[in-house]
């Protein structure tokens, strides 16, 4: 794809291993590939997870849930190059529009850094992320917002203009430094960064909107994070579920009476999404589910629930509840 000479590609790849014990094997395999080309391969002779490069347990899980054809479509989607796009303002005029969000624009992939971003006029993010962030921003209704999992600032971009005040919280100092850089570049005036843990909130005052962008298994964004699929495990799912539960419990206590709790993941897994919603509603009956403001085709059972091969954007899930007065 890049036109790199074979010897340079082999050298760079082996060098990237940094002396790992597999360096010799990698060097031998790549040099043979460069010399002889790829061997003949019949995809029909292999299980789909193997030639589509996905962990077998995860492929089996998706096949059981979606059926063989939809699971295969999802794995093919994850292997496709993702487009570049974002909310670019006037700088995006004339570019290809997005599928779901007014003002979203796609950038050409031509190897040149997009001037709309390097020049400070835009922020690159998938349209699925924008759908959830804009839904939360609309629910803010000019009130006070607590944003949990704020870095590096892509959601703050949408919350800041619609809120009276945004407390943007993340536990990673390094990621919050990126948040500060983006906030300065994008002229976010109403948002204040805080480094703290989302399951031990340092606030006693209630907020009109608490937005929890929960850590998750990332199964909805494997197209953009191709290495993340190899970190999949039931243990990872279990640890994410436990953390999500703690974040929701802490967030529920930070919502003012009449305020809104907004929960979002970039996962496709029911344990992190619909089952987590059911868990929360059983535990906190004072919160009533409300429909997030989003395109009808992306919402079912008053939940944003995006399946990438069908909706052509990242797999984002979101739920919103209003707290009783």
Sign of CA pseudo-dihedral 128, 129, 130, 136 = positive
Q: What is the dihedral of CA 33, 36, 37, 42, to 10 degrees?
A: -100
Compute the distance between CA of residue 176 and CA of residue 153 in angstroms, rounded to an integer: 8
> Residue 95 to residues 54, 102, 103, 129: CA-CA distances in angstroms?
34, 13, 10, 19
Strand-pairing partners, residue 194, are 169
Rg (CA), the chain: 22
Neighbouring C-beta atoms of residue 292, cutoff 10 Å: 23
Judge whether 266 counts as a catalytic residue.
yes
- Measured N-to-C along each axis, helices 68-78 and 56-66 cross at an angle, to the nearest 10 degrees, of 130
Cis peptide bond prior to 242, omega within 30° of 0: no
Sign of CA pseudo-dihedral 59, 60, 65, 70 = positive
Q: Which two tokens stand for residue 108?
A: 């050409």
Q: Which two tokens stand for residue 166?
A: 């945004």
What is the DSSP annotation of 15-58? HHTTT-TTHHHHHHHHHHHHHH-PPP--GGGS-HHHHTT--HHH
Compute the distance between CA of residue 48 and CA of residue 127 in angstroms, rounded to an integer: 28
What is the DSSP annotation of 181-209? HHHHHTT--SEEEEE--TTS----S-EEE
**Catalytic residue positions, numbered:** 266
């Amino acid at each position: 794809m890049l036109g790199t000479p074979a010897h340079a590609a082999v050298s760079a790849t082996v060098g990237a291993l940094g002396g790992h014990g597999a360096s010799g094997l990698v060097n031998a395999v790549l040099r043979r590939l460069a010399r002889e080309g790829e061997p003949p391969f019949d995809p029909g002779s292999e299980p789909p997870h193997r030639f589509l490069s996905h962990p077998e347990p995860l492929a089996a899980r998706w096949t059981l849930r979606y059926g063989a054809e939809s699971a295969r479509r999802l794995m093919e989607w994850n292997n496709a190059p993702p487009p570049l796009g974002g909310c670019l303002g006037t700088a995006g005029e004339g570019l290809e529009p997005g599928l779901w969000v007014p003002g979203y624009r796609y950038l050409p992939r031509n190897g040149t850094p997009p001037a709309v971003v390097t020049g400070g006029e835009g922020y690159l993010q998938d349209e699925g992320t924008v759908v959830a962030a804009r839904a939360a921003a609309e629910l803010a209704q000019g009130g006070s917002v607590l944003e949990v999992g704020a870095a590096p600032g892509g959601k703050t971009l949408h919350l800041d203009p619609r809120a009276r005040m945004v407390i943007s919280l993340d536990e990673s100092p390094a990621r919050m430094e990126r948040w500060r850089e983006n906030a300065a570049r994008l002229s976010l005036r109403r948002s204040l960064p805080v480094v703290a843990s989302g399951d031990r909130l340092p606030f006693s005052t209630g907020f009109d909107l608490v937005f929890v962008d929960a850590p998750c298994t990332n199964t909805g964004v494997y197209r953009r994070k191709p290495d993340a699929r190899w970190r999949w495990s039931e243990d990872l799912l279990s640890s994410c579920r436990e953390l999500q539960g703690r974040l929701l419990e802490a967030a529920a206590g930070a919502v003012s009476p009449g305020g809104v709790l907004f929960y979002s993941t970039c996962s496709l897994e029911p344990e992190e999404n619909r089952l987590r919603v059911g868990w929360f509603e059983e535990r906190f009956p004072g919160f009533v589910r409300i429909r997030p403001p989003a395109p009808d085709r992306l919402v079912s059972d008053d939940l944003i629930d995006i399946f990438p091969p069908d909706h052509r954007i990242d797999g984002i899930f979101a739920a919103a509840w209003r707290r009783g007065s």
